């Protein structure tokens, strides 16, 4: 089926979701219904992908104890992997070494994004899927936060086995999902676009 769009249609709801999204670090304990989790992943799969590889796959955790457990293991594994590397800095080291830090912010759900070897530009493909998920979540009244500090789970054999992750898949993004306890009403201060150059078509403003 082909949809013919009004080329100048204004998508205000889309812009509301893009402008309203904030990283959420305080969640209500309420579980996220399975259909909502599936909707987020389906929205993720609408993303563009290099050479149309569509090679991003998922793993989901909605068990609160497992979220806590993977958070602790993620901290440990990421610390091992990043220690001594240029990724490490005092702020990150403090979070990864503190007994009190909770990297998944007590969210009730997690979505892990993986790429297959078929992906031509895997980081880019996974990032677009993650972006769609976060925007769709905002639209659905859910909060999300991308957790880069969980990256060490990629090399955790128990994590991979427990979630049935094939050996050829690489973890690219981890996103917490839940109903926000605190909803930021003030948009985060963002830099205005830095535009290096703009060569205009003569006669068109
Ligand atoms: C690749 C990536 C990794 C991130 N890792 C973390 C993280 O480990 N923990 C966290 O609390 N937030 C993390 N964030 C969220 C950023 O801190 C957040 O997007 C940024 O401060 C801007 O705030 P906003 O999302 O509310 O606009 C990450 C974001 C991105 C894009």
- For 106-126, the pLDDT digits (tens) are 999 999 999 999 999 999 999
The bridge status of strand 170-178 relative to strand 56-61 is unpaired
Q: Closest ligand 1 atom, CA of 149?
A: 8
Give the structural domain span for 82. 35-178
Residue 196 has pLDDT above 90, yes or no: yes
Determine, yes or no, domain membership for 200: no
Q: Residue 7 Cα, ligand 1 centroid: separation in angstroms?
A: 33
How far apart are the C-alpha atoms of 114 and 174, rounded to whole Å? 9
**CATH assignment at residue 98:** 3.40.109.10
- Determine contact, residues 139/17, Cβ cutoff 8 Å: yes
Determine, yes or no, domain membership for 192: no
pTM, to two decimals: 0.94
Q: How confident is the model at residue 182 (pLDDT cuts 50, 70, 90)?
A: confident
Average pLDDT rounded to a whole number, residues 160-183: 96
Determine, yes or no, domain membership for 150: yes
Average pLDDT rounded to a whole number, residues 147-171: 98
Determine, yes or no, domain membership for 62: yes
Q: Closest ligand 1 atom, CA of 188?
A: 27
Our count of domains for the chain comes to 1
Q: What is the dihedral of CA 40, 41, 43, 44, to 10 degrees?
A: 120
List of long-range contacts for 100-104, beta carbons under 8 Å, 24+ apart? 101/75, 102/68, 102/71, 103/71, 103/74, 103/75, 103/147, 103/149, 103/150, 104/67, 104/68, 104/70, 104/71, 104/74, 104/147, 104/150, 104/176
Q: Closest ligand 1 atom, CA of 190?
A: 27
Q: Residue 33 Cα, ligand 1 centroid: separation in angstroms?
A: 24
Say which residue the tokens 């001594």 belong to: 84
Least Cα distance to 23 among 151, 188, 139 occurs for 188
Determine, yes or no, domain membership for 83: yes
Q: How confident is the model at residue 188 (pLDDT cuts 50, 70, 90)?
A: confident
How far apart are the C-alpha atoms of 140 and 163, rounded to whole Å? 26
Within 6 A (CB) of ligand 1 lie 22-23, 25, 145-149, 188
- Determine contact, residues 201/151, Cβ cutoff 8 Å: no
Residue 7 has pLDDT above 60, yes or no: no
Average pLDDT rounded to a whole number, residues 118-136: 98
pLDDT 10s digits, 60-101: 999 999 999 999 999 999 999 999 999 999 999 999 999 999
């Amino acid at each position: 089926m082909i949809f013919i769009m009004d080329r100048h249609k204004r998508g205000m709801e889309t812009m509301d979701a893009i402008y309203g999204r904030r990283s959420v670090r305080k969640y209500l304990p309420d579980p996220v219904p399975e259909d909502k989790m599936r909707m987020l992943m389906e929205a993720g799969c609408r993303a563009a992908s290099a050479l149309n590889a569509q090679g991003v796959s998922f793993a989901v955790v909605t068990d609160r104890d497992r979220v806590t457990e993977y958070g602790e293991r993620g901290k440990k594994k990421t610390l091992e992997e990043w220690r001594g590397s240029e990724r490490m800095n005092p702020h990150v080291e403090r979070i990864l070494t503190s007994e009190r830090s909770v990297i998944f912010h007590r969210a009730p759900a997690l979505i892990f994004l993986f790429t297959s070897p078929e992906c031509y530009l895997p980081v880019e493909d996974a990032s677009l899927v993650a972006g769609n998920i976060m925007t769709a979540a905002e639209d659905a009244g859910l909060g999300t936060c991308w957790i880069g500090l969980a990256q060490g789970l990629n090399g955790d054999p128990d994590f991979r086995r427990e979630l049935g992750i094939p050996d050829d898949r690489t973890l690219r993004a981890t996103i917490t999902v839940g109903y926000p306890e605190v909803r930021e009403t003030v948009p985060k201060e963002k830099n205005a676009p830095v535009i290096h150059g703009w060569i205009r078509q003569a006669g068109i403003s």
